[in-house]
Amino acid sequence: MPPNDLRIGEDAFSVRVANRRLSVQRARPARADAVIETDTETFAAVLTKSKSVREAIASGHLTLTGDVRLVVRLVDSLVTPEAAPAP
């Protein structure tokens, strides 16, 4: 299965999920199932689930080409980071 192409601002990443493992490399893949383009703030909102992938697309802050279902499944499978306790 080809990786996904994730572009956050000027940075590009190849994201692949295989055998229940997540692999991320700083590179743009030659071929991808989905291409995600967004900014850092929107990416963080999607990862922390304060904004869904579909909400980010609707707001115009995230563009996605390719298999939307794969991206939604990927984001939904990630564990939401918990906030660190205040010092």
pLDDT tens track, the chain, 87 positions: 677 888 998 899 998 887 878 888 898 888 888 899 999 999 989 988 889 888 999 999 999 999 888 888 888 777 666 655 666
**For residues 14 and 32, what is the distance between their CA atoms, to the nearest angstrom?**
8
Cα separation, 3 vs 22, in Å, equals 10
9 — phi, psi (to 5°)?
60, -125
31 C-beta neighbours (distance < 10 Å), count:
7
Supply the CATH classification number for the domain 4-77: 3.30.1050.10
Sign of the torsion formed by the C-alpha atoms of 52, 38, 73 and 77: negative
The model's pTM is: 0.76
